[in-house]
Amino acid sequence: MRSDRGQSAPLGLKIAAAGGLLFLHLPIFLIFVYAFTTEEKSFVWPPPGLTTQWFAVTWNRPDVWQALSLSVRVAAISTAVALVLGTLCAAAVSRTRFFGRETISLLVILPIALPGIITGIALRSAFSLAEIPFSFWTIVLGHATFCVVVVYNNAVARFRRTSGSMIEASMDLGADGFQTFRHVVLPNIATALLAGGMLAFALSFDEVIVTTFTAGQQQTLPIWMLEELIRPRQRPVTNVVAMVVVLVTLLPILAAYYLTRDGDQIAGSGK
Amino acid sequence: MTIAALNSNPSPAILPGSGGMRGALSDLFWRRPQLLLLLMLLPPVLWLGIVYIGSLFALLLQSFFSIDEFSGLINREFTLKTYGDLLQAANLDIILRTVTMAALVTLASAIIAFPIAYYAARYARGRWKALFYLGIMLPLWSSYLVKIYAWKLILAKEGILTWLLAKLHLLWLLDGWLSLPIVGGNSLSVSFTGTFIVFVYVWLPFMILPVQAALERVPGNLVEASSDLGASPGQTFRNVLFPLALPGIVAGSIFTFSLTLGDYIIPQIIGTSRLFIGQAVYSQQGTAGNIPLAAAFTVVPIVIMGFYLWGAKRMGAFDAL
């Protein structure tokens, strides 16, 4: 038995830890209150009154729907690309040892390790050198690139836990490579891929820095929000959108956590 | 007879090739694993190599171009003139300001992160452990813009912070702080103090996770042994806990430092009109149309982070990631 079990923490440590967690969470809760405020022109606290009318106003705003739809489409396609590329890369890196293996891991991690602005302006200058006009696909190109790493991380962790002898057993019993993949490998890594996919979706759905460089005139939901932050036009609508965004990103994160919590490495510990 | 019976039904040691295209392909991959490996690696490497490394290379190339001051057109000839422009006093100011901010943010994150990480690693068990984990993960993954927006609400002149301080009769403290040079301003949302608070808030989870990972590996009896041998809690922290947590802190600081260096949205929304590197890059490539100078500016954080990573690696920070 470990000797430190059942010990309680010093009071000062408890207060500092609780204070730190409150610091992390209170600002997000505040958003929920502001979504109901009757005040239109300022951020006055406490709210002079509470109302649900802004939800209806937001619901009837076509620009919000357009931005949301673009964000969802971009996130879906980027996630699909990232799933394929990330899984292939993870399978190759975890199954075999080859020359340049470390370089490949570095290559996958680099787009998220360097500040987003570097990725963004690098893509933009490449587009301008190659004279590629901005489109839906230029956004996807950027997003898929930094989404590969979250899928890769989850898949690599799962491959490490899956024993190679299962694949050999399947082959010994007469299955060909494709059958083995379909009936042995895929069921083993499915939850890790689902978790990675959800994190990739959340990452893409929320991305703003790279997107500002690759979107041109198009508006994803984060870009819509950024415009509202810089030049506020209708604050109550922004409040409601902010609240919805918090709720929408919360669900995939919780789902990814529950899908992988039994493992040695839980999804999302590296963003 | 037994031998004859065995021989009459010989089972082949090698299975016959499975028929069809699919079977042939499957057999080929089994016989030549390198080919399968190559095919698996090719798509991701091509994608990242062309889209990402290609773009980075294009960026680097652009930083050696220069802009014609009269026509505003980009002159595609090799020159170091753009890097010379980087050394103008105004641009050096921007670099110095950003690096100072990044260092302060890193320091503050480490101080706030340590108690949370230590409590989660050493005292939280079972359900509390899961709660702590989610309590760090959820803010980490919450929308970046929403987090900034929340602070705009908090720091606004009519917002909750002013209200709270007024209730506590501490407004004089806020006014006193705002009247200070450099860190002060008209209200917290247009001051460096505001920028600093938001940076710390947004990057804090990136510091907590690696510090916690490092502290998880410190055996509890080490701390007990230290106090058994007569060390005060302060001495135990200085001589036992802190050195063991240091690789984790350095690993976390890679994130907080790098993210602060490259960010341009936080100082734009909450802060003064004085620029940070990210904003300089953004305005140079956007309104000014001076992509070479913007490219040269981005080389600064890359070089700084290069040195930082090199130092971090020597301190063993990568084992804590």
Contact partners, residue A21, CB within 8 Å, separation at least 6: B116, B132, B135
Cis ω before A46 (30° cut-off from 0): yes
Cross-chain Cβ contact B147/A222 below 8 Å = no
Q: Is the pLDDT of residue B13 over 70?
A: no
Tell whether B150 is within 8 A of chain A (Cβ). Answer: yes
DSSP character string of B141-183: HS-HHHHHHHHHHHHSTTSHHHHHHHHTT-HHHHHHHHTSTTT
With CA atoms as reference, the chain B residue closest to A91 would be B40
Instruction: Count Cβ–Cβ pairs < 8 Å, chain A vs chain B.
Output: 269
Q: Which of B41, B132, B268 sits opposite A92 (nearest CB)?
A: B41
pLDDT tens digit string along B197-226?
Answer: 999 999 999 899 889 888 888 888 888 888
CB atoms within 10 A of CB B88: 10
Q: Distance, in angstroms, between B1 CA and closest chain A CA? A: 31
Average pLDDT over residues B230-252: 87
Ranked by mean pLDDT, the top range of A37-51, A246-260, B155-169 is B155-169
Say which range, A41-45, A101-105, B5-9, B158-162, has the weakest mean pLDDT: B5-9
Q: Where are chain B's structural domains?
A: 20-52, 87-320
Look at A222 and B145 and tell me if their CB atoms are within 8 Å: yes
Query: In percent, how much of chain B has pLDDT > 90?
Result: 15
pLDDT, mean over chain B? 83
- Give every CB contact of residue A255 below 8 A, 6+ residues apart in sequence: A195, A198
How far apart are alpha carbons A99 and B311 in whole angstroms?
Answer: 26
Model pLDDT, residue A79: 95
pLDDT digits (tens, 9 = 90+) for B131-166: 888 888 888 888 889 999 999 889 888 888 888 888
The predicted model scores a pTM of: 0.84
- How far apart are the C-alpha atoms of B281 and A121, rounded to whole Å? 8
**DSSP notation for B232-294:** -HHHHIIIIIHHHHHHHHHHHHHHHHHHHHH--HHHHHSS-SS--HHHHHHHHHTTS--HHHH
Radius of gyration of chain B (CA): 29
Cβ pair B44:A121 closer than 8 A: no
In chain A, whose CA is at the least distance from the CA of B268?
A230
**ipTM here:** 0.82
Say which CATH architecture domain B87-320 belongs to: Orthogonal Bundle (1.10)
Q: Which stretch, A66-80, A145-159, B137-151, B305-319, has highest mean pLDDT?
A: A66-80
Query: pLDDT band at B12, cuts 50/70/90?
Result: low
Q: How far lies A4's CA from each of B113, B123, B124, B221, B223, in Å?
A: 22, 8, 11, 7, 10
Mean pLDDT computed over A15-19: 90
For chain A, which residues make up each domain, given as ranges?
9-51, 61-260
pLDDT for residue A1: 40
Helix (H) or strand (E) holding B74: strand B74-75
Question: What contacts B133, CB < 8 A, 6 or more positions away?
Answer: A257, A266, B120
Q: How far apart are CA A18 and CA A256, in angstroms?
A: 25
Reported CATH class of domain A61-260? mainly alpha
A149 vs A141: CA distance, rounded Å: 14
- pLDDT score for A262: 66
Instruction: Residue B318: name the closest of B213, B245, B247 by CA.
Output: B247
> How many CA within 13 A on the CB side of residue A174?
5
Instruction: List, for residues A83-122, the tens digit of each pLDDT value.
Output: 999 999 888 888 777 777 777 877 887 887 778 888 888 8
